[in-house]
Amino acid sequence: MASLVFVTGGVVSSLGKGLSAASLAAILESRGLKVTLVKLDPYLNVDPGTMSPFQHGEVFVTMDGAETDLDLGHYERFVRTRMGQLNNCTTGRIYGNVITKERRGDYLGATVQVIPHVTDEIKDWIRRASEGYDVAMIEIGGTVGDIESLPFLEAIRQLGVEYGRNAMFMHLTLVPFLRAANEIKTKPTQHSVKELRSIGIQPDVLLCRSEIELSESECAKIALFTNVPIKAVISALDARDSIYDIPTMLHAEGLDDIVVERLGLEDKAGPANLDDWLEVVDRTINTRHEVTVAMVGKYVEHNDAYKSLTEAIAHGGLRQRIKVNIRRIESDDLADDDLSQLDGVDAILVPGGFGERGFEGKVNAIRHAREGGIPYLGICYGMQAASVEFARNVCGLEGANTTEIEPDTPHGVIGLITEWQDASGTVEQRDDQSDLGGTMRLGAQDCRLREGSLARKLYGREIISERHRHRYEFNNHYRDIFQKNGMVLSGISMDEMLVEIIEIPDHPWFLACQFHPEFTSSPRDGHPLFTGFIEAALREQQGELPAGVASL
């Protein structure tokens, strides 16, 4: 049976529960424990797949195709455990399961209620998600006091009783510093814990977010009014130089020792080894080079909309200690001939997305990169836009477009699989593909890389597995004309039906992929596409191969 660490938040949202949980998990993993993390989200959506990036941030896709909360991206960047369907659960999914069981008669005619039926469903989900691990970190979304999170809090209260010593509660709160009074205020934390205790949960550890470190007297005051041991009142300052410094900061506060002792894991846990994280932080701080990458999209002003992507771009510079500055450019602003915002950039990236807005601006940015010899990386929609640009301006296919935007285009170089027809009019469709385009291709799928291609050199192997989230594909009817005009189709699905990667060998560095490589990038390992892309940006900036940068 796994030990459970429940992570709740109080006072205000966005305090960093996900990063705190992931960082603690990273320390416990470094001590030899097998760790997983689960995010329980109180909203009624079944998953965040249809939610606006402006409201919710990015949708993180797991290996098995779950569309999940962005916190799962934090989890995967901090621990080696891969997340899946069971690692993110919403109120919508819980109620859906309960109603399905009620309609099926599983409750034998009983009156279905929040307690015990909804709470039992939540508890069962947590048990299944934590099976096979030494420790499971269970993060409850939202803030204590929110009405929608009450069923989740009641469920973990019950599990706390059932698991006894094998469960503990960690509460993250805000301890504001009032500059006008030059004083730290502990009252919000006291009230937050009071709210938690009113529903039967006594926290074992408090993580106190504050601008300045809490004094011993302030920790003692918080401990006195919250019934938490003073050693378990942890000062959680903002990360000094990088979010990847948080594991070392929490370890220095003794958090992992408190958790190991509280859960009785002394026999399983060895000493913490955080050398990997010290190395990551060192490479982040002590850089030798600096490049600027233009990220051209339509959600660029919202930081969380491309969270995994911005992290992956930064990871791409770590091997050669390159600091990457991201110039966020709204693609709508590039819809005309004024591309001055791209002046001085060392590389251009077009990320994933959907819909017509800003598409022509992306096409213009790609043409600027292709014709100007500027390193280009296209991701998902960025590959589709690159295909449209190449079709129009190199292949001479006037009016070429994606059928997502223009269903009646004369050249739908990007379309639904159901739109590809052979000479007899039969539809070429894979069994695992969409039902008339109504569902996405989601999750990890294998791809074969062409011998001698840039992609093959970057990955260093023939078969790769990457995660997808899209409906539209490269239209196979245009393979020949693209190849005749110099485009290399360097990545093809294992059944040879789908184009996964395109590249231009006569360009200094031009590659676009149908999948989302950012979802498998981590600070310790990076990702071959982002590492190659950022190092190409450095070569572009310096005009020659800098010392220490491997030629690809």
| Sign for the pseudo-dihedral over CA of 272, 277, 279, 282 | negative
Residue 421 phi/psi, 5-degree rounding, is -125, 140
> Which residues 6+ apart lie within 8 Å of 180 measured at CB?
none
Beta strands across the sheet bearing 441-449: 322-330, 289-297, 347-350, 376-379, 510-513, 499-503, 488-493, 441-449, 463-470
Indicate whether 200 and 227 sit together in one domain: yes
178 bridge partner residues: 183
* Integer Cα distance of 416 and 251 in angstroms: 50
Q: Which of 33-42, 403-412, 415-424 is the least confident region? A: 415-424
Residues 308, 406 within the same domain: yes
Residue 423 has what pLDDT?
36
Q: Is 48 exposed, middle or buried (0-12, 13-18, 19+ CB in 10 A)?
A: buried
Q: Does 527 participate in catalysis according to the annotation? A: no
Flag whether 383 is in a domain. Answer: yes
- Report yes or no on 384 lying in a domain: yes
Asked whether the predicted pLDDT for residue 546 surpasses 80, the reply is no
Q: Give me the chain's average pLDDT, please.
A: 91
**Is residue 86 one of the residues assigned to a domain?**
no
481 or 353, higher pLDDT = 481
Does residue 250 surpass a pLDDT of 80?
A: yes
Model confidence at 268: pLDDT above 90: yes
- Residue 337 scores a pLDDT above 80: no
6-43 pLDDT per residue, tens = 999 988 877 889 999 999 999 999 999 999 999 999 98
Whether 138 has a pLDDT exceeding 80, the answer reads: yes
CB-count exposure of residue 326 (10 Å: 0-12, 13-18, 19+): middle
The pLDDT of residue 427 is above 60:
no
- Residue 58 belongs to some domain of the structure: no
C-alpha to C-alpha distance for 280 and 526, rounded to whole angstroms: 10
Q: Residue 552: is its pLDDT beyond 50?
A: no
- What is the rounded distance in angstroms from the CA atom of residue 72 to the CA atom of residue 118? 24
Does 518 participate in catalysis according to the annotation?
yes
pLDDT of residue 426: 38
Confidence tier at 48 by pLDDT (50, 70, 90):
confident
Residues 295 and 261 in one domain: no
Nearest of 369, 324, 322 to residue 549 by alpha carbon: 322
Q: Looking at 117, 368, 411, 516, which residue is catalytic?
A: 516
- Residues 119, 225 within the same domain: yes
Residue finishing a domain among 279, 303, 325: 279
Q: Are residues 241 and 378 in the same domain?
A: no
Alpha carbons within 13 angstroms on the beta-carbon side of residue 348 total 31
pLDDT band for position 548 (50/70/90)? very low
Q: What does the pLDDT look like over 376-405, one tens digit per residue?
A: 999 999 999 999 999 999 999 999 999 999
Residue 182 tokens read as 């030059």
- Boundary (domain end) residue, out of 230, 250, 279: 279
Instruction: Check whether 470 has a pLDDT greater than 80.
Output: yes
pLDDT confidence of 374, banded at 50, 70, 90? very high
Q: Are residues 324 and 444 located together in one domain of the fold?
A: yes
Q: What is the mean pLDDT of residues 117-135?
A: 97
Residue-level pLDDT at 433: 40
Annotated active-site residue in 518, 527, 535, 540: 518
CA atoms within 13 A on the CB side of 112: 18
Co-location of 373 and 241 in the same domain: no
Average pLDDT score over residue span 149-172: 96
Among candidate residues 208, 219, 380, 395, the one labeled active-site is: 380
CATH number of the domain residue 203 falls in: 3.40.50.300
Query: In the chain, how many domains are there?
Result: 2
pLDDT (average), residues 233-242: 86
Let me know whether 451 and 514 are in one domain.
yes
Verify that 449 and 483 share a domain, yes or no: yes
Q: Most confidently modeled of 52-66, 175-189, 256-270, 348-362?
A: 256-270
Q: Based on the fold, state whether residues 397 and 254 are members of the same structural domain.
A: no
Pick from 247, 268, 238, 87: nearest CA to 175: 238
Residues in Cβ contact with 531 at an 8 Å cutoff, skipping those fewer than 6 apart: 315, 316, 319, 458
Q: What is the pLDDT of residue 544?
A: 59
- Asked whether the predicted pLDDT for residue 323 surpasses 60, the reply is yes
Q: Does residue 452 sit within a domain?
A: yes
Is 516 catalytic? The answer is yes
For 180-205, the pLDDT digits (tens) are 888 889 999 999 999 999 999 999 99
* Domain at 480, CATH number: 3.40.50.880
Of 215, 249, 279, which marks where a domain is finished? Answer: 279
Q: Which domain holds residue 18?
A: 3-42+111-279
What pLDDT shows up at residue 432? 42
Inter-residue contact 212 to 177 (CB < 8 Å): yes
pLDDT tens digit sequence for 498-534 = 999 999 999 999 999 999 999 999 999 999 999 999 9
Q: Tell me the percentage of the chain whose pLDDT exceeds 90.
A: 78
In a domain, 552, yes or no: no
pLDDT at 233 over 90: yes
List the single range of 270-279, 331-340, 354-363, 541-550 with lowest mean pLDDT. Answer: 541-550
| Residue 186 in domain | yes
Tens-place pLDDT, residues 59-113: 999 999 999 989 999 999 999 999 999 999 999 999 999 999 999 999 998 999 9
328 and 215 within one domain: no
- State whether 38 and 176 are in the same domain: yes
429: pLDDT confidence band, cut at 50, 70 and 90? very low
Task: Give yes or no for residue 353 having a pLDDT over 90.
Answer: no
Query: Whole-prediction pTM value?
Result: 0.91
